[in-house]
């Protein structure tokens, strides 16, 4: 891991606020080198412990994992799985986000509907969405559709809840101001409520991104013939520890890249928020 | 232009009613500048919200141009205490917002916005966002937006309360000029007596909550007024003292 991934967790990275907490902040290069050194140290300890302290069967070792990754990359077999997982994650994320945002805006601006539906939505939200997996397999089959559905359902509720809260938080003065300037209801929603709720929507998207991946991988672990979830499940059933670790590494890389993409998108859309800090 | 008839407004907090405005009667003529002055929290802003149609009166009614106000009154421009610029829009897009809502083409509305921005002295800041501006600049942007909306009546709720004394004078001057040019009717709510006498044709003193009108005074100072020097004239002083004598009572009761 290097600095950008760690920064992605906080809303406003310390470096951009201009506030330094320590008297002398460690420079970026030194920090990157230290992070690299820590990673190497952990790998060395892992390599050292493997076969001596713990049986290689349980924890494998970095060299085997790297060799496995190289092998999969060289023969191209890993890419089919990556593509399947990324596709299911992205589709699930998009469908869930759009659905959650639309539902959030709609219920946010219609008090009647939100009160009517609230007990049902609460019940559905409390339901562990993973338990829906068998149902999705029945409905959508063993193909990629059932993974998309699982990812989408996980994302939908997270984005919905954040959007709903954001719409409810909109400053009433801004709405009144627009209405006094002859804004129609649609204009109020499009030009005041939605932009104002945008940072809440993004918080929802950021929280939901890893869940899209979780949904896709989990779906693949339950029933599939491709995808990283299938591969990790398959490797485990073959007692292939190096394979399991190799897939986990790829999934972690994927998660980091996806988070980074959401952050970059927010930076572009919410320029006004960053510009004056 | 605006007729306020037996107007009362109560807010309910649980089962206890808080009266903000009680039995107010008032008529405001076209092109008149009326200042409403009174202690903080006496219900002045509630009055403006009712003229704007944002609150419905508990009793009585407001008649605007011979029609009772029942929904949002889109004939008024309302400048609230807090500036309500949209934080995600640049100054230009904020000022042009009323035109955008009316469906004016982008090139045309940018041109007209830039013109107004120059008028209120914000040229060079068109691309900035509200949180990059000072309080005074935000007020000027609000003023510009209101100007571009072209409302025939302007409601001002302590618009310059947060500004320093010098900037306030500059804003008073700007406001009188713009309102004069656009022939607007103005209802100004303030707790600054100096401001009220400087700007208004008529000053109304409100009692403490619930607000009723305790004193009405016509300010017959010549127009156009020199906002900087008018306050040193004898006529100004007489008006000021007469109003202050009545206003003081509202504050004195407070201390007991």
Concatenate the DSSP letters of all residues of chain B into one string.
-EEEEEEEEEEEETTEEEEEEEEEEEEE-TT-EEEEE-STTSSHHHHHHHHTTSS--SEEEEEETTEE--S--TTEEEE-SS----TTS-HHHHHTHHHHHTT--HHHHHHHHHHHHHHTT-TT-TT--GGGS-HHHHHHHHHHHHHHHT-SEEEEESTTTTS-HHHHHHHHHHHHHHHHHHT-EEEEEES-HHHHHHH-SEEEEEPSSSB-EEEEEE----SS--TTTGGGSHHHHHHHHHHHHHHHHHHHHHH-
pLDDT band, very low/low/confident/very high, at A192 (cuts 50, 70, 90): very high
Domain ranges for chain B, please list them: 1-66+184-230
Number of H helices, E strands in chain A: 15, 0
For residue B253, give both structure tokens. Answer: 């009761």
- Mutation choice for A interface testing from B101, B113, B125, B148 by most A CBs within 10 A: B101
Residue A149 has pLDDT above 70, yes or no: yes
Q: B1-66+184-230: which CATH number, 3.90.226.10, 3.40.50.300, 3.30.420.40, 3.40.190.10?
A: 3.40.50.300
pLDDT band, very low/low/confident/very high, at A234 (cuts 50, 70, 90): very high
Whether the CB-CB separation of B101 and A182 falls below 8 Å is answered with yes
Kind and range of the H or E element at A65? helix A62-74
Chain B hits for A276, Cβ within 8 Å: 129, 131-132
Which range has the worst mean pLDDT, A51-55, A80-84, B19-23, B85-89? B19-23
Residue A13 has pLDDT above 50, yes or no: no
CB contact under 8 A, A181 and B86: no
pLDDT recorded at residue A16: 44
Whether the CB-CB separation of A163 and A104 falls below 8 Å is answered with yes
**Mean pLDDT, chain A, as a whole number?**
86
Which of B72, B86, B90 is the closest to A180 by Cβ? B72
Quick: pLDDT tens for A34-85.
999 999 999 999 999 988 888 888 889 999 999 999 999 999 999 999 999 9
Place of tokens 């070792």: A61
**Mean pLDDT, chain B, as a whole number?**
84
pLDDT recorded at residue A11: 42
Quick: pLDDT tens for B148-187.
888 888 898 888 877 778 878 888 888 888 888 888 889 9
Which range has the worst mean pLDDT, A5-14, A143-152, A180-189, B63-72? A5-14
pLDDT recorded at residue A18: 46
The Cα–Cα gap between A177 and A175 comes to 5
Residue B136: C-alpha distances to residues A179, B121, B179, B227 (Å): 24, 11, 18, 18
pLDDT recorded at residue A3: 40
């Amino acid at each position: 891991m290097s600095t950008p991934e760690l920064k992605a967790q906080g809303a406003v990275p310390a470096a951009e606020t201009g506030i330094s907490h320590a008297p002398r902040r460690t420079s970026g290069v030194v920090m990157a080198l230290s992070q690299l050194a820590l990673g190497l140290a952990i790998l060395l300890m892992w390599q050292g412990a493997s076969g001596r302290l713990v049986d290689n069967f349980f924890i494998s070792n970095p060299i085997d994992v790297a060799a496995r990754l190289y092998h999969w990359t060289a023969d191209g077999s890993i890419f089919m799985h990556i593509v399947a997982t990324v596709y299911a994650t992205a589709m699930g994320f998009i469908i869930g986000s759009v659905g959650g945002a639309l539902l959030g805006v709609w219920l946010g601006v219609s008090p009647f509907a939100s009160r009517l539906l609230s007990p049902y939505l609460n019940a559905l939200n409390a339901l562990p969405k993973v338990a829906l997996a068998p149902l999705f397999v029945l409905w959508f089959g063993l193909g990629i559709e059932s993974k998309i559905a699982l990812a989408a359902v996980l994302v939908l509720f997270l984005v919905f809840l954040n959007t709903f809260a954001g719409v409810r938080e909109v400053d009433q003065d801004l709405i009144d101001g627009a209405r006094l300037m002859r804004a129609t209801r649609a204009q109020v929603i499009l030009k005041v409520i939605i932009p104002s709720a945008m940072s809440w929507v993004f918080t929802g998207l950021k929280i939901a991104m890893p869940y899209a991946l979780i949904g896709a991988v989990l779906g693949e672990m339950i029933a599939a013939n491709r995808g990283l979830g299938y591969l990790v499940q398959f490797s485990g059933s073959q007692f292939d520890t190096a394979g399991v670790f190799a897939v986990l590494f790829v999934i972690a890389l994927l998660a980091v890249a996806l988070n980074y993409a959401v952050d970059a998108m927010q930076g572009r859309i919410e320029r006004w928020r960053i510009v004056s800090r | 232009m605006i007729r306020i008839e037996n107007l009362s407004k109560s807010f309910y907090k649980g089962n206890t009613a808080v009266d903000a405005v009680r039995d107010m009667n008032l008529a405001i003529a076209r092109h008149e500048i009326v200042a409403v002055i009174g202690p903080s929290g006496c219900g002045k802003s509630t009055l403006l919200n009712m003229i704007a149609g944002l609150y419905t009166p508990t009793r009585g009614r407001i008649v605007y141009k011979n029609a009772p106000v029942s929904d949002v009154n889109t004939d008024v421009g309302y400048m609230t205490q807090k500036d309500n610029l949209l934080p995600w829009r640049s100054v230009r897009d904020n000022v042009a917002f009323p035109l955008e809502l009316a469906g004016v083409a982008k090139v045309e509305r940018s041109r007209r916005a830039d013109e107004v921005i120059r008028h209120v002295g914000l040229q060079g800041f068109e691309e900035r966002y509200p949180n990059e501006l000072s309080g005074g600049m935000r007020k000027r942007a609000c003023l510009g937006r209101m100007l571009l909306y072209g409302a025939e009546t302007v409601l001002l709720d302590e618009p310059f309360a947060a500004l320093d004394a010098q900037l306030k004078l500059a804003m008073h001057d700007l406001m009188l000029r713009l309102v004069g040019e656009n022939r607007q009717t103005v209802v100004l709510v303030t707790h600054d007596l100096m401001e009220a006498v400087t700007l208004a044709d008529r000053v109304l003193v409100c009692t403490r909550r619930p607000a009723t009108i305790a004193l009405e005074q016509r300010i017959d100072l010549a127009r156009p007024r020199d906002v900087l020097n008018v306050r040193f004239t004898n006529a100004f002083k007489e008006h000021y003292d007469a109003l202050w004598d009545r206003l003081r009572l509202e504050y004195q009761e407070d201390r007991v």
